Amino acid sequence: MTSTASASGLCAGRVVVVTGAGRGLGRAHALAFAAEGARVVVNDLGAGPAGDGVSPGPARQVADEIVAAGGEAVVNGGDIATAEGASSLVADALESFGRLDTVVNNAGFVRDRMLVNLDEDDWDAVMRVHLKGHFLPLKHAAAHWRAEARAGRTPVARVINTSSGAGLLGSVGQANYAAAKAGIVALTLVAAAELGRYGVQVNAIAPAARTRMTEQTFAETMAAPGGGAFDAMAPENVSPLVVWLGSAASEGVTGRVFEAEAGRITVMEGWRPGPTADRGARWAPAQAGEEVRALLKEAETPGAVYGATPPAPPTEPANPGPAVT
């Protein structure tokens, strides 16, 4: 942490929970919030890159770093994919600091396999930590904020979920991870719609940065440059957006997904109706296929799945068959 905590920073007085905060993006977020005056609940199991093992060391190191810089932090070692662990995040925030303002759902790991080699256990484990591990902290925090709102103390609450480009476009060899991250986007949209009445804003980020999940799979892309050049893949580049979304200054921004990489921020635009044909009656199968080909010529080409060759534009079949009327 390069600067001391600020009593007048963007998040002064706020209490922030960051899951998976022992390393990588979570660590960068926790330090950045503390530098802007937030008090931080540093959650991390200390598990390995595939979710194995437990160690309190990483979370403790981050909390100690925040305190050494003049900030306030407590360690939480709860398993965020259990009701007990997720509820302990809220309990620790309230017990230690008397309030809860922001939750950053960040914890996760990968177990990459090609689809036909993907074990059921690897599917379940990744779904558990990413998707269930977003749902449960969000659920328990939202229950607290709803109670506050009903008691006449409407919060200025924020949730930042962590999706991925894999969840937006797909990624070869990561069917479990991509499916979980896509689910997080849908969870974000639903939560934003449901919780706005209680003073809660919910957004998601799709970050690209150097973490334990990316530095080996994408080693060349993620490598830090030498010679003092801008380190585009440093996780600290993503944190300013997360801090702003987690602050009161982000009033009115909810139900959005942002890509964040290096010095770039992109508002992602999701599924919406494209070219459409309405016959006003039931289609015959061949008729429907003919119309689909026509519509695809008008539609935008989707982004390429990570690790795959971009799809070729649709072409007319060699033998379209007899015309259907």
Nearest one of 46, 174, 55, 184 to 122, comparing CA atoms? 174
139 is catalytic: no
Pick the catalytic residue from 87, 163, 171, 177: 177
Provide the 3-class DSSP secondary structure of residue 128: helix
Pick the catalytic residue from 87, 88, 163, 164: 164
The 3-class SS string of 143-156 reads HHHHHHHHCCCCCC
Q: With beta carbons less than 8 A apart as the criterion, state whether 185 and 204 touch.
A: yes
6 is catalytic: no
Q: Which residues contact 70 (CB under 8 A, 6 or more apart)?
A: 4, 5
d(CA 190, CA 195): 9
Q: With beta carbons less than 8 A apart as the criterion, state whether 21 and 38 touch.
A: no
d(CA 43, CA 158): 17
E strands present in the chain? 15-18, 39-43, 73-76, 102-104, 157-162, 200-208, 257-261, 264-267
Q: Euclidean distance between the first and final Cα of the chain, in Å?
A: 70
Q: With beta carbons less than 8 A apart as the criterion, state whether 22 and 44 touch.
A: yes
Q: Which residues contact 229 (CB under 8 A, 6 or more apart)?
A: none
Provide the 3-class DSSP secondary structure of residue 197: helix
198 is catalytic: no
Catalytic residue numbers, as ranges: 164, 177, 181
